[in-house]
Amino acid sequence: MDYNTNRKKLELPEYGRHVQEMVDMIKRTPDREERNRLAMSTIQLMGNMNPQLRDVADYKHKLWDHLAVIADFDIDIDSPYPLPTEAEIHQKPMKMKYSNPDEIRFRHYGKILEDMVRKITQYPEGEERDALIAIVGNQMKKSFLTWNRETVSDDVIFSDMLAIACHRMTIPAGLRLKDSKELLRMQALANNNNGVGGKNSAKKHKANKKKNAPKKQK
């Protein structure tokens, strides 16, 4: 009996034994043009076996890479893409650099807002810079109110903004941010539209509960 355990190990089992044998046959074919023709037919078969790859960017490139892996990186064909080497396929990914929470001075604003404040300092003084200060300041005030549902003065936001920027910018004279009540109202409206909390959500839940409740038998 010819058991699979006695056969050559499949490099990519998801393509099956037949694709592995087709690739082995391509490697044994002496004529280069015939190898290229067989390789193209094998790529088409591999694509039909894995239609989900069509949703992946450069899926054709990925199929040719898989062909090289199945061939154990030893196949002489005219590929439309540079065939990868074993070292390229098995190289370890670069270590990701995670943000250190200690680097965030005011955690209730988050790292992105702090980076935006520092970015403002790179703009020259003028209307554009003043407009950015107002936009980021309102977003900081909105984030502040997410954790403190009472109120917050503009002076607190401006003081935090200057601290993040190491005082490398000036708050425009007379600048006033949106009122805290207005920001809270906008947040509540957004939550209601998204179906998160709020009176409207409670009313909808109550109406659905009443609608789906079993009818009492008379």
Angle between helices 32-49 and 59-70 (to 10 degrees): 120
CA–CA separation, 40 and 68 (whole Å): 13
Task: Supply 7's token pair.
Answer: 């056969």
Confidence of residue 53 (pLDDT cuts 50, 70, 90): confident
Residue 198 pLDDT > 50, yes or no?
A: no
Q: Are 140 and 109 in contact (CB under 8 A)?
A: yes
- Mean pLDDT confidence for 196-214: 52
Instruction: Provide the whole-model pTM.
Output: 0.47
Residues of the chain above pLDDT 90, percent: 50
Q: Pseudo-torsion of CA 153, 155, 157, 163, nearest 10°?
A: -150
Structure tokens belonging to residue 86: 């074993």
For the chain, domain boundaries: 7-90, 95-181
CA contacts within 13 A on the Cβ side of 48: 7
Residue 204 — very low, low, confident or very high, per pLDDT cuts 50/70/90?
low
Which amino acid is it at 169? M
DSSP output for 55-79: GSTTHHHHHHHHHHHHTTT------
**152-188 pLDDT per residue, tens:** 899 999 999 999 999 999 999 999 999 988 888 887 8
What does 148-212 look like in DSSP terms, one character per residue? --S---HHHHHHHHHHHTTT-S-PPTT--PPPHHHHHHHHHHHHHHTT-SHHHHHHHHHHHHHHH
Q: How many CB atoms lie within 10 A of CB 211?
A: 7
